[in-house]
Chain A
Amino acid sequence: MIHVRGLTKHYADLRRGTLIALGGIDFDVSPGQIFGLLGPNGAGKTTALRILSTVLRPTAGSVTVNGFDVATQPEEVRRRIGFMSANTAVYDRMTAREMVEYFGRLHGIPEERLAQRMANLFDRLQMNEFCDVLGAKMSSGMQQKVSVARAIVHDPPVLIFDEATAGLDVLAARALLRTVAELREHDKCVVFSTHIMREAEKLCDRVAILHRGHILAQGTLEELRDRHHERDLEELFFQLISHHDEAHAVVQGGSEK
C-alpha cells in the first residue's frame, strides 16, 4: 500500500548549510496495519509524512501510495489519503459540520452519500453535540475530532497521523487512539508518528525508529525487543538513539581531525 525507497529530503539552511532532514529511508506499510514512526523532535517524522501527503516534494528516492507516485501523481495520492497533523488545524470561522462537508465535497463525494457518511461519523466520533459550534469556540479535543472526521470523510484507504495526540488531554488522546485502532479493523493502512512510546506500544503493529533523518531500526515490537534484548520500548528507544549519537560524535570528531 505504501512503499518508501531511499527517501531523501534536503533543506538549505543559512546557519547549518545543507540540512539533511531525511537521509534515504525505506519502509513499507500494508493494509490493515498501523505503522508507527517513532522519533524525538526534529527526527524527520513530519518531513516524511508531509512528503507522503504530497505537501512536500522529495529531493530523492521514491514513494508510492496505493500505487501512485507522490512526485508525479500527487493529486491521485491526495484523493486516497487522509492526512492529519498538529499543523492541519480547523477553520476558526467554520462549524464542524461545515468543515467536514467542505472537505467531503472537495473529495467529490455525492451529496447523499456525504450526508450519510457525515451522520455516521458524527455518531461514531460523538460530535453531534458540537457539530454547529464554530472552530474558534471548540476545545482542543473537539478540534481534533473534527480533524479526524475531516481526514476520513472520504473513506480513504491510507491514513497518515502526524503527532495527532500532541496537546490533547488524556481523555481526548485515548478517544483518538481508539478511533485509529478502529481504522485498522476497517482494513486501512495507517501511518502514525509519535514520540510517546506508550502510544506506539498500544497501537502499532510495526514501528520504525527515526533519528536525525535515518531509520535506526524497524520491525514488529517483538522483533525489536528480541533483536536488541530489551523488553522496555522506551529503554530500547533511548539506547538506539544514544548509540547513534555517540557514533555520530565519533565520525564528526574524526572528520574534524
Chain B
Amino acid sequence: MSWSNVRLILAREIRDQLRDRRTMFMIVVLPILLYPLLGMAFFQIAQFMRETATQVLVIGAKSLPKEPPLVENGRFAERLFSAPEKALLLELTFAPDEPRPDRPSDATGGVESRREAEAQVQAGEYEAALYIPPDFGDRVETFREALKQRAQRSAQGPSTPDLDLRSPLEVPKPEIIYTTATEKSELTSARLGDVLRRWTEEVRKANLAAAEVPQRAAERLEVVTTDVAQQTGAAGAARWSKVLPVLLLLWAMTGAFYPAVDLCAGEKERGTLETLLSSPARRSEIVLGKLATIMLFSILTAVLNVASILIMGRVVLGQLPGFGMIPAGGVLWLAVALLPASALFSALCLALAAFARSTKEGQYYLMPLLLVTLPLAVLPATSGMELNLGNSLIPVTGLVLLLRTALEGSAWEALEYLVPVTLVTLGGCLLAIRWAIDQFNSESVLFREGERLDLGLWMRHLVQDRKPTPTVAGAVFCGTVILMAHFFTGLAMPKWNDFGGFARGMLVGQVAVIATPALLMTIMLTTSPRKTLLLRWPAWPTLLAAVLLAVVAHPVVDAIRRMVLSLYPVNPQMEKWLEELGLQRIVAESPLWQVLLVFAALPAVCEELAFRGFILSGFRQSGHKWRPIVYSAFFFGFIHGILQQSLVACLVGVAIGFLAVQSGSILPAMVFHAVHNGLTVVSTRASGQIVEDWPPLGWFVRAGTDGALEFAWPVVALATCLMLAILFWFQRLPYGRTPDQRRQERIAKGLQWNG
C-alpha cells in the first residue's frame, strides 16, 4: 500500500469535487440557504393557512336538554369555543325529519336516522354527524330533578328513601359519527369532541347546582409540573435528541452519495476511470483515496446541515416552548459519532456507485439505500427503543440510540455502549470497503455493458446454457422463492391444536415449499444434480464426526440461544402467540419417534437439499469458500422466521455449510442437522424433573427458566473446546475445490502483487 498514492488520489478528487458546481451547491450552498429559506417560507405560508368550515349533520337536536343550551341560532353556542369566531367552523345541518329546537315537532330521531347519518358521512356529504339519542334531554332533566328533590329531602331529614340516580350520560350516549378515511372528517370529529367536552362540563355544573353541591367539591385536582431541565439549560433536549441523530445520519449519507456517484459512475461514463486504472496505483489505493474524499464531503455536508439547523433552531425554534438548545456536550457527541457514520455510509455509497454504469444508473441506487437506512435510523428515534447491548449491536440503530442517550444528558450510560456501537459500525465499514475493493477488481463490474431487458432470453439462457451447478443468480432466486413461499404459506396455514395437524403443516412447509423448488430448479437449471446437491457418499468417519459435532455443539448452541434471548428478549405479544401455538405442549405430549421424525429427520433432509444443496452450490460459483457458506446460512436463518431463532440458525447454518463444503457431501450436513434438531426436541421434553430423579445430573444441567434444561458453564466450555477440535478435524480434510474456486485463487494470487 502506497500512502503517497492514496494522498495524491485524495487531493485530486477533492480538487475535482470543489470545481464541480453541482456538488458544491448540494454540499455547501444548499444547507446554508435551505434552512433559513425554509424558516422564511414557513412564516410566509402560515399567513395563507386558514381553517375552513366543515359540515356537520345533527340528528336528534330536539332531544337535547334545554339547559345548558348546546345549539343557539342554528350553530353550536359560541361560549363552547376557545374563540367565538370558531363557532363558524362547524356548519350544522339538522336531519330532515328533525325540527330545529326552536320549532317543536312530533318527529323522532331513531335508529333509522342514525343509519342514514352513517351513510351520509361515508358518502362524504357531511364530514361528521352528531347523534343525540331520542330521550336524552328528558333523562338529563329527570336526573337533575331527582338530584334537586334529593337535596331538598336530605335537608328535611336523613331517613329519606334513595331516588334513581343513574346518570343520563350512561348508555345510550350522544355519539359523534365520523370516518378515518378522510382527514377533514377526523378534524371535524376533533372539533366536535372539544365542543361536547365543554358542554358536558356545563351539564355537570348544572347538575351539581341542582344537587346543591358547591362547584369546588367536584373541581378537578390540578397537578403542577416542573421541568428541571430549565435549571440546567437543557430544556427540550429530548426533542433535539430525537431529531438531530437522524438528520446527522441522513445528511452524512446524502453527502456521501452524490460525490460517490460522480467519482465512480461519473468517471466510468467520462472514460477517466480506465485512465486511472492503467496507472501504477493499486485498486485498494484508488478505493481508499476515493473513500477518503467521499468521507470528507459526507462529514462536511452533515456538519454544515446540522450547524445550520442548530443556528436556525436557536433563532426560531428556541423561541418555542420545549425546543431549547442542546448542551455543548451533545454537540461533541455528534462530532464524535459523525466519523464512523460517515465512514460506513461513504464505503456503502462507493461500492454501490462502483457498480453503476453511469451517473443516471447511480442515482437509482439512492432509493434502495434510503429504504434500508431510513427504518434503521428513524425507528429508534421515534419508537420507545432503548439503548441496551442488544440494540447497540444493530448497525445504524445502535448509533442513533447512543447519540439520543448522550444528547438527553445520560453521557455515562452512552459511554457504556460506546465500544459495541463502534465495533459494529467499524465492522460494517470494513465489510463495505472490502465490497468496494471487490467491485474495483471485478471486470464484469468495471466494464459492464448495457443489456436489453429480455426476460424470455434470460429464461432461455438459464435453461439452455446450463452448467453442472447453478449460478449465483440461480441461488439467490431459489432462496428468495423459498423465503416468499414460506412466508405466504405460513400466513395461509390454519392454526393446529394437535400433533397430526402440526405434522401435516410441517410436511407441506418442508416438502412443498422448501425441498420442491430446490429440486425442480436443480433439474431445470443444472446438468448435474449429483454435483449440485452434493449427492456423494462420504467417508464413514465424517458421518461419525458430524454426529459427535452435533452432540458437543448442543450445549454451545443452547448457551448462544440463551445469550441471544437475553440480548433480544422475545416481546410479550410474540411470547403469547407462541404459547397459543402450543408447540411446546405438542412436542412434550406426542410420541417421541413421531416428534423426531417431524422435527428432526424431515427438516434435515428438506432444508439441507435446499440450503446446502442448491443454494450453497450456486453461491460457490463465485469462486470463494467462506462467502457461499455465510450467504446460504443467511437464507437458512431467514427461513426460521422469529429474529432470535434466525440469529442462532444462521450460526448453525455456517457450521453445517462448512461440513458440506469440507466433506463434499450433503450427508454429514443432514446427519448433523437431524441430530442437532433431535437433541433440541429431547431437551425440550426433558423437564427439571429429570434432575430431581437423577441428582448427579445436577452437576451438568439444571432446569432453565423456560423449563428446558440449561447446561452448566463448565459443560459449555468443555463442549466448545471439543466442538472446535472436531471443526479443526473437518478443516484438515482434503476438500475438492470447484473450478470457479480454482479460478478465483489464481486471480487472488495475481492480486497479491496488486495489494
Considering the chains assembled together, what is the distance between the CA atoms of A78 and B754 in angstroms? 11
Q: Is the CB of B12 within 8 A of A14?
A: no
- Please report which residues of chain B, range 245-278, place their CB below 8 angstroms from some CB of chain A when the two chains form the complex: 270-272, 274-275, 277-278
Binds B, one of A67-75, A124-132, A219-227, A239-247: A67-75
Considering the chains assembled together, what is the distance between the CA atoms of A211 and B541 in angstroms? 56
- Please report which residues of chain A, range 75-111, place their CB below 8 angstroms from some CB of chain B when the two chains form the complex: 75-76, 78-79, 81, 83, 85-94, 98, 102-103, 105-108
Q: Is the CB of B457 within 8 A of A106?
A: no
A-side contacts of B458, CB under 8 Å? 14
Q: Is the CB of B278 within 8 A of A76?
A: no
Chain B residue at minimum C-beta to C-beta distance from A147: B275
B277, B465, B750: the one within 8 Å of A17 (CB): B465
For the complex formed, measure the closest distance between the CB of A157 and the CB atoms of chain B, giving whole angstroms. 14
Chain A residue at minimum C-beta to C-beta distance from B465: A17
Q: Is the CB of B278 within 8 A of A88?
A: yes
Considering the chains assembled together, what is the distance between the CA atoms of A180 and B388 in angstroms? 67
Q: Is the CB of B8 within 8 A of A106?
A: yes
In this complex, how many residues of chain B approach chain A with their Cβ under 8 Å: the count is 36
Q: Is the CB of A92 within 8 A of B270?
A: yes
- Please report which residues of chain A, range 178-224, place their CB below 8 angstroms from some CB of chain B when the two chains form the complex: none
- Please report which residues of chain B, range 1-19, place their CB below 8 angstroms from some CB of chain A when the two chains form the complex: 4-5, 8-9, 12, 15-16, 19
Q: Is the CB of A75 within 8 A of B16?
A: no
Q: Is the CB of B275 within 8 A of A150?
A: yes
Does A119 have its Cβ within 8 Å of any Cβ on chain B?
no
**Inter-chain CB contacts under 8 Å: number:** 86
B16, B271, B278: the one within 8 Å of A54 (CB): B278
Does B197 have its Cβ within 8 Å of any Cβ on chain A?
no
Instruction: Flag B1-40 by CB within 8 Å of A: 1 or 0 each.
Output: 0001100110010011001100000000000000000000
Considering the chains assembled together, what is the distance between the CA atoms of A150 and B280 in angstroms? 13
Does A115 have its Cβ within 8 Å of any Cβ on chain B?
no
Does B162 have its Cβ within 8 Å of any Cβ on chain A?
no
B-side contacts of A107, CB under 8 Å? 279-280
Q: Is the CB of A102 within 8 A of B278?
A: no
B-side contacts of A249, CB under 8 Å? none
Considering the chains assembled together, what is the distance between the CA atoms of A71 and B752 in angstroms? 10
Q: Is the CB of A79 within 8 A of B443?
A: no
Given contacts A14-B451, A78-B279, A72 and B749 within 8 Å (CB-CB): yes
Q: Is the CB of B753 within 8 A of A75?
A: yes
A-side contacts of B275, CB under 8 Å? 88-90, 147, 150
Given contacts A14-B457, A57-B747, A78-B278, A105 and B8 within 8 Å (CB-CB): yes
Q: Is the CB of B272 within 8 A of A73?
A: no
Does B150 have its Cβ within 8 Å of any Cβ on chain A?
no
A72, A86, A102, A108: the one within 8 Å of B750 (CB): A72
Q: Is the CB of A93 within 8 A of B753?
A: no
Interface of A is mostly: loop
In this complex, how many residues of chain A approach chain B with their Cβ under 8 Å: the count is 38
Which interface residue of A53, A73, A91 has the most chain B CB atoms within 10 A? A91
Q: Is the CB of A57 within 8 A of B280?
A: no
Chain B residue at minimum C-beta to C-beta distance from A55: B277
Which interface residue of A14, A76, A94, A105 has the most chain B CB atoms within 10 A? A14
Chain B residue at minimum C-beta to C-beta distance from A52: B278
Given contacts A75-B282, A88-B278, A94 and B12 within 8 Å (CB-CB): yes
Does B447 have its Cβ within 8 Å of any Cβ on chain A?
yes
Q: Is the CB of B274 within 8 A of A57?
A: no
For the complex formed, measure the closest distance between the CB of A77 and the CB atoms of chain B, giving whole angstroms. 9
A-side contacts of B19, CB under 8 Å? 93, 134
Given contacts A14-B457, A89-B270, A71 and B750 within 8 Å (CB-CB): yes
Does B461 have its Cβ within 8 Å of any Cβ on chain A?
yes
B5, B274, B461, B750: the one within 8 Å of A74 (CB): B750
Considering the chains assembled together, what is the distance between the CA atoms of A94 and B465 in angstroms? 46
A-side contacts of B755, CB under 8 Å? 75
B-side contacts of A90, CB under 8 Å? 272, 275
Does B281 have its Cβ within 8 Å of any Cβ on chain A?
yes
Considering the chains assembled together, what is the distance between the CA atoms of A17 and B279 in angstroms? 32
A55, A73, A85, A98: the one within 8 Å of B753 (CB): A73
Chain A residue at minimum C-beta to C-beta distance from B461: A14
Q: Is the CB of A78 within 8 A of B280?
A: yes
Does A15 have its Cβ within 8 Å of any Cβ on chain B?
yes
Instruction: Flag A55-72 by CB within 8 Å of B: 1 or 0 each.
Output: 111000000000000011
Considering the chains assembled together, what is the distance between the CA atoms of A71 and B458 in angstroms? 32
Considering the chains assembled together, what is the distance between the CA atoms of A172 and B715 in angstroms? 81
B-side contacts of A88, CB under 8 Å? 271-272, 274-275, 278
For the complex formed, measure the closest distance between the CB of B275 and the CB atoms of chain A, giving whole angstroms. 4
Which interface residue of B20, B461, B753 has the most chain A CB atoms within 10 A? B753
Instruction: Flag B732-755 by CB within 8 Å of A: 1 or 0 each.
Output: 000000000000001101100111
- Please report which residues of chain B, range 590-641, place their CB below 8 angstroms from some CB of chain A when the two chains form the complex: none
B-side contacts of A73, CB under 8 Å? 753
Instruction: Flag B304-339 by CB within 8 Å of A: 1 or 0 each.
Output: 000000000000000000000000000000000000
For the complex formed, measure the closest distance between the CB of A232 and the CB atoms of chain B, giving whole angstroms. 35
Chain B residue at minimum C-beta to C-beta distance from A103: B279
For the complex formed, measure the closest distance between the CB of A47 and the CB atoms of chain B, giving whole angstroms. 10
- Please report which residues of chain B, range 451-498, place their CB below 8 angstroms from some CB of chain A when the two chains form the complex: 451, 454, 457-458, 461, 465
Chain A residue at minimum C-beta to C-beta distance from B747: A57
B-side contacts of A75, CB under 8 Å? 280, 282, 753-755
Considering the chains assembled together, what is the distance between the CA atoms of A75 and B4 in angstroms? 16
A14, A74, A79, A102: the one within 8 Å of B754 (CB): A74
Chain A residue at minimum C-beta to C-beta distance from B12: A102
For the complex formed, measure the closest distance between the CB of B452 and the CB atoms of chain A, giving whole angstroms. 8
B-side contacts of A94, CB under 8 Å? 12, 15-16
Q: Is the CB of B443 within 8 A of A57?
A: yes
Q: Is the CB of A93 within 8 A of B278?
A: no
For the complex formed, measure the closest distance between the CB of A120 and the CB atoms of chain B, giving whole angstroms. 20
Considering the chains assembled together, what is the distance between the CA atoms of A72 and B15 in angstroms? 34
Considering the chains assembled together, what is the distance between the CA atoms of A93 and B513 in angstroms? 56
Considering the chains assembled together, what is the distance between the CA atoms of A107 and B281 in angstroms? 8
For the complex formed, measure the closest distance between the CB of A243 and the CB atoms of chain B, giving whole angstroms. 30
Considering the chains assembled together, what is the distance between the CA atoms of A147 and B746 in angstroms? 33
Considering the chains assembled together, what is the distance between the CA atoms of A57 and B285 in angstroms? 19
- Please report which residues of chain A, range 1-45, place their CB below 8 angstroms from some CB of chain B when the two chains form the complex: 14-15, 17
Considering the chains assembled together, what is the distance between the CA atoms of A59 and B109 in angstroms? 88
Chain B residue at minimum C-beta to C-beta distance from A68: B753
Considering the chains assembled together, what is the distance between the CA atoms of A17 and B461 in angstroms? 8
Chain A residue at minimum C-beta to C-beta distance from B746: A71
Q: Is the CB of B8 within 8 A of A56?
A: no
B-side contacts of A53, CB under 8 Å? 278
Which interface residue of A17, A88, A92 has the most chain B CB atoms within 10 A? A88
Which interface residue of B280, B281, B446, B457 has the most chain A CB atoms within 10 A? B280
Considering the chains assembled together, what is the distance between the CA atoms of A147 and B461 in angstroms? 41
Chain A residue at minimum C-beta to C-beta distance from B270: A89
Q: Is the CB of B272 within 8 A of A93?
A: no
B-side contacts of A56, CB under 8 Å? 443, 447
Chain A residue at minimum C-beta to C-beta distance from B749: A72
Chain A residue at minimum C-beta to C-beta distance from B464: A17
For the complex formed, measure the closest distance between the CB of B291 and the CB atoms of chain A, giving whole angstroms. 17
Considering the chains assembled together, what is the distance between the CA atoms of A56 and B753 in angstroms? 15
B-side contacts of A79, CB under 8 Å? 280
- Please report which residues of chain A, range 108-159, place their CB below 8 angstroms from some CB of chain B when the two chains form the complex: 108, 134, 147, 150
For the complex formed, measure the closest distance between the CB of B198 and the CB atoms of chain A, giving whole angstroms. 67
For the complex formed, measure the closest distance between the CB of B478 and the CB atoms of chain A, giving whole angstroms. 19
Considering the chains assembled together, what is the distance between the CA atoms of A57 and B749 in angstroms? 12
For the complex formed, measure the closest distance between the CB of B354 and the CB atoms of chain A, giving whole angstroms. 15
For the complex formed, measure the closest distance between the CB of A73 and the CB atoms of chain B, giving whole angstroms. 5
Instruction: Report the 9 A-B pairs with minimum CB-CB distance, sorted nearest first.
Output: A89-B271, A88-B275, A83-B278, A93-B19, A71-B750, A106-B279, A78-B280, A53-B278, A87-B274
Binding site for B on A (CB under 8 A): 14-15, 17, 53-57, 71-76, 78-79, 81, 83, 85-94, 98, 102-103, 105-108, 134, 147, 150
5 contacts between A and B (CB under 8 A): A56-B447, A57-B443, A88-B272, A106-B281, A107-B279
Q: A76-B753, A98-B15 are in contact. List 4 more A-B contacts (CB 8 A).
A: A56-B447, A74-B753, A94-B15, A105-B8
